Amino acid sequence: RFWAEVYGWVTWPLNQFDPLTCTPALLNLLAYDRDISRFDGEPLELFRRRVAYAFMNARDAGSVEGFISIFERLGIGYVELLERQPGIDWDVIQVRVTDSQIA
């Protein structure tokens, strides 16, 4: 029992580098390091996933397939992406999701 407790003390700092399991205070530091800001009313689990996958999301952000991968990683599911819509700048896309997906 004693050694199990010591093991917990030793491994606790290592577990704090995982955004999916670390304490909220350290999550904010990891988010700051990755230039991620929490949205008003954003659930903690979604914020954790955004911080955990920040590097992959930044890499994938330039294509339709990449955006679909980003939304899958965040647990949002199916999204519809509309590119180059009339009357909107060419570099702006529209993202359609249902209310139940983001609620």
Tell me, what DSSP letter sits at residue 88?
S
Can you say whether the dihedral through the CA atoms of 72, 97, 63, 30 is positive or negative? negative
Q: Is 67 helix (H, G, I), strand (E, B) or coil?
A: helix
What pLDDT digit, counting tens, does each position of 88-101 carry?
Answer: 998 888 888 887 77
Q: In the chain, what percentage of residues exceed pLDDT 90?
A: 55
Task: Work out the percent of the chain whose per-residue pLDDT is above 70.
Answer: 97
Query: 80 has which bridge partners?
Result: 96
Give pTM, 2 decimals.
Answer: 0.77
Task: Please determine, for residue 34, whether its predicted confidence score (pLDDT) is greater than 90.
Answer: yes
